[in-house]
């Protein structure tokens, strides 16, 4: 049941009168009054509201930061999954407290709501993280060939799943995993914080994610995804703590989010070499807007390097990066196959950056030696417009592949200010073709001047037509 604010006020009045009218209130009556006076309602936007609602503590959850809640999460979601099946859906509220847990799985027509004073803590007990088979489009685990740990919050083959809150926290307690990874003591790929696989209608919003063991948010083989109002924080020297990695996904929107991390703030992917080519599932129709990144050794947005299912129609605008290695970067290699095409970037503001424009056609990193040397990636139609950058070391390093040039590159209205000690060669270009307009400092001669504003599509993608409903949770918090 959801309570409106009005009925809440009436209830409070009734209990106050009730209390005043009694000279000695029993314990039971006192509880009723206390319940009414401290119950609050929180509204939040979501793909769908839910008929059924429960709080983690109803299933034995203990929020002391020490007790494992893995079984409580499993029991709660199993129970709510049954209730949700009547068509009304269900939501699970994680109330204030510190909720230690291992990996657990979500269900369809389901909302996980994490209260602002709640922290979900990822356990460092490896036995609480089941192993999953490797992803078919990768052919092996990213860190290690022998499979992978399930993500802290995992979902597969779902429709209509929401992970949200009013800025609740998920803390992966990643230090344990970073250390083991650096010492090469893991033979299974590290877990991610959130992975949603083979699913549609996904929302991940209004959360703070900290210290992920590896990537933070990994939607894969999924569609119709809204990611908004996320704060993602990891030490800038933590290994592979990518922010958001849409991987073989269609119709995705990422907006109003902030990432500080040890790897790319956003990494757009679609599988690795022959495995990705065979699986053949691109990432396409991706919108990124109002996004801020800090990542001194990585990219703001990388179209990278696992792109063997193709990457197509990415629109990034109103992007800010501070103390970040590069802007919207392309990483690929011989053996990847597929394509990166129709990429549009507009209005980006960069401060303290090594490379404003960076494309790499020789980014090795192969899953195994069995790649096809004839599988050349097609990189085509890469558009950058309205870029302001300050304190820059290199304006551009644009390296295509020999006999496989990167084509139709367009760069317009760019003003780059250099560091006090800039490199002499500001633009270095090989095996590329394209045009520039109003770009300072002066571009390389493979990108001749042409009077053009580089295109940015004006039409809306279907994901922008999805309207969120106003939903609510109520309880004593």
Ligand X SMILES: *[C@@H]1O[C@H](CO)[C@@H](O)[C@H](O)[C@H]1NC(C)=O
Q: Is 263 a catalytic residue?
A: yes
**Could you tell me if 132 and 148 are in contact, meaning their C-beta atoms sit under 8 angstroms apart?**
yes
Please report how close the Cβ of residue 199 comes to ligand X at its closest, in angstroms: 9
Region binding ligand X by CB under 6 A among candidate stretches 1-9, 98-106, 326-334, 378-386: 98-106
What lies within 8 Å, CB to CB, of 230 at 6+ separation is 204, 205, 206, 207, 208, 209, 217, 244, 257, 258, 259
> Residues 61, 89, 104, 161: which binds ligand X (CB under 6 A)?
104
Closer to ligand X by CB, 15 or 305: give it. 305
**Could you tell me if 259 and 232 are in contact, meaning their C-beta atoms sit under 8 angstroms apart?**
yes
Does residue number 280 form part of the binding site for ligand X (CB under 6 A)? no
How many of the other CB atoms lie within 10 Å of CB of 270?
Answer: 31
Closer to ligand X by CB, 132 or 301: give it. 132
Does residue number 229 form part of the binding site for ligand X (CB under 6 A)? yes
> Residues 81, 352, 365, 474: which binds ligand X (CB under 6 A)?
352
Please report how close the Cβ of residue 144 comes to ligand X at its closest, in angstroms: 8
Does residue number 157 form part of the binding site for ligand X (CB under 6 A)? yes
- Identify the DSSP state of 378: E
- Residues 224-246, buried b or exposed e (16+ Cβ, 10 A)? bbbbbbbbbbbebebbbbbbbbb
> Residues 39, 419, 433, 474: which binds ligand X (CB under 6 A)?
419
Which of 313, 294, 409, 292 is CA-nearest to residue 361? 409
> Residues 15, 36, 44, 139: which binds ligand X (CB under 6 A)?
44
Please report how close the Cβ of residue 313 comes to ligand X at its closest, in angstroms: 23
Does residue number 320 form part of the binding site for ligand X (CB under 6 A)? no
Region binding ligand X by CB under 6 A among candidate stretches 17-25, 97-105, 265-273, 283-291: 97-105
Does residue number 440 form part of the binding site for ligand X (CB under 6 A)? no
Q: How many residues does the chain have?
A: 477
Pairwise CA distance, residues 86 & 88, whole Å: 6
Which residue has its beta carbon closest to ligand X?
A: 166
Closer to ligand X by CB, 23 or 127: give it. 127
Which of 282, 285, 402, 414 is CA-nearest to residue 347? 414
- Residues 153-180, buried b or exposed e (16+ Cβ, 10 A)? bbbbebebbbbbbbbbbbbbbbebbbee
Does residue number 105 form part of the binding site for ligand X (CB under 6 A)? yes
3-state secondary structure 53-119: EEEHHHHCCCCEEEEECHHHHHHHHHHHHHHHCCCCCEEEEECCEEEEECCEECCCCEEEEECCCEE
Region binding ligand X by CB under 6 A among candidate stretches 88-96, 152-160, 327-335, 407-415: 152-160
Does residue number 82 form part of the binding site for ligand X (CB under 6 A)? yes
Does residue number 291 form part of the binding site for ligand X (CB under 6 A)? no
Does residue number 428 form part of the binding site for ligand X (CB under 6 A)? yes
Does residue number 154 form part of the binding site for ligand X (CB under 6 A)? yes
Does residue number 14 form part of the binding site for ligand X (CB under 6 A)? no
Does residue number 79 form part of the binding site for ligand X (CB under 6 A)? yes
**Could you tell me if 241 and 210 are in contact, meaning their C-beta atoms sit under 8 angstroms apart?**
no
Does residue number 360 form part of the binding site for ligand X (CB under 6 A)? no
Closer to ligand X by CB, 104 or 110: give it. 104
Pairwise CA distance, residues 1 & 277, whole Å: 49
Please report how close the Cβ of residue 6 comes to ligand X at its closest, in angstroms: 20
Does residue number 175 form part of the binding site for ligand X (CB under 6 A)? no
Annotated catalytic residue within 224, 263, 264, 313: 263
CA Rg, the chain, in Å? 25
Please report how close the Cβ of residue 375 comes to ligand X at its closest, in angstroms: 22
Residue 340: beta bridge partners?
311, 379
Count of residues near ligand X by CB under 6 A: 32
**Could you tell me if 130 and 77 are in contact, meaning their C-beta atoms sit under 8 angstroms apart?**
no
Does residue number 130 form part of the binding site for ligand X (CB under 6 A)? yes
> 279 — alpha (psi -120 to 50), left (phi > 0) or beta?
alpha
Residues with a known catalytic role:
263
User: Which spans of this chain sit near ligand X (rule: CB under 6 A)?
Assistant: 44, 58-59, 79, 82-83, 103-105, 130, 132, 146, 150, 154, 156-157, 166-167, 187, 198, 206, 208, 229, 231, 352, 391, 393, 399, 419, 425, 428, 430
């Amino acid at each position: 049941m959801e309570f409106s604010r009005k009925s809440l006020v009436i209830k409070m009045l009734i209990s106050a009168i009730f209390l005043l009218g009694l000279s000695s209130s029993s314990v039971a009556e006192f509880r009723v009054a206390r319940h009414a006076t401290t119950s609050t309602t929180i509204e939040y936007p979501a793909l769908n509201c839910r008929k059924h609602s429960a709080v983690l503590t109803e299933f034995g959850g203990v929020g002391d930061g020490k007790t494992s809640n893995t079984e409580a999460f499993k029991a709660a979601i199993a129970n709510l999954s049954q209730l949700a099946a009547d068509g009304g859906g269900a939501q699970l509220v994680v109330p204030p407290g510190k909720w230690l847990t291992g990996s657990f799985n979500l269900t369809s027509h389901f909302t996980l709501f994490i209260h602002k004073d709640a922290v979900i803590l990822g356990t460092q007990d490896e036995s609480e993280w089941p192993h999953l088979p490797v992803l078919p489009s990768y052919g092996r685990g990213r860190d290690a060939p022998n499979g992978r740990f399930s993500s802290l919050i995992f979902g597969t083959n779902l429709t209509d799943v929401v992970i949200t809150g009013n800025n609740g926290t998920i803390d992966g307690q990643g230090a344990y995993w970073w250390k083991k990874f650096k010492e090469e003591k893991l033979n299974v790929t590290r877990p991610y914080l959130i992975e949603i696989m083979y699913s549609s209608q996904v929302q991940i919003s209004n959360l703070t994610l900290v210290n992920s063991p590896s990537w933070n948010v990994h939607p894969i083989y999924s569609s119709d995804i809204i990611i908004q109002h996320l704060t993602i924080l990891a030490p800038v020297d933590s290994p592979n703590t990518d922010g958001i990695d849409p991987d073989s996904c269609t119709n995705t929107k990422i907006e109003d989010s902030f990432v500080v991390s040890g790897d790319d703030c956003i990494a757009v992917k679609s599988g690795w070499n022959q495995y990705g080519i065979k699986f053949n599932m691109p990432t396409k129709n991706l919108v990124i807007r109002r996004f801020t990144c800090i990542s001194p050794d990585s990219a703001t947005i990388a179209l990278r390097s696992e792109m063997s299912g193709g990457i197509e129609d990415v629109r990034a605008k109103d992007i800010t990066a501070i103390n970040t290695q590069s802007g919207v970067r392309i990483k690929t290699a011989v053996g990847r196959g597929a394509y990166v095409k129709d990429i549009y970037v507009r209005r980006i503001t960069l401060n303290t950056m090594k490379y404003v424009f960076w494309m790499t056609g020789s980014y090795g990193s192969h899953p195994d030696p069995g790649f096809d040397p004839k599988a050349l990636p097609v990189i085509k139609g890469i558009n950058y417009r309205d870029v302001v950058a300050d304190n820059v070391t290199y304006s551009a390093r644009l390296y295509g592949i020999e006999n496989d040039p990167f084509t139709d590159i367009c760069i317009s209205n760019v003003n780059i200010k250099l560091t006090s000690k800039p490199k002499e060669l500001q633009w270095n270009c090989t095996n590329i073709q394209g045009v520039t307009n109003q770009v300072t400092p002066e571009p390389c001669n493979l990108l001749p001047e042409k009077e053009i504003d580089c295109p940015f599509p004006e039409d809306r993608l279907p994901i922008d037509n999805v309207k969120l409903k106003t939903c609510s949770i109520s309880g004593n918090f």
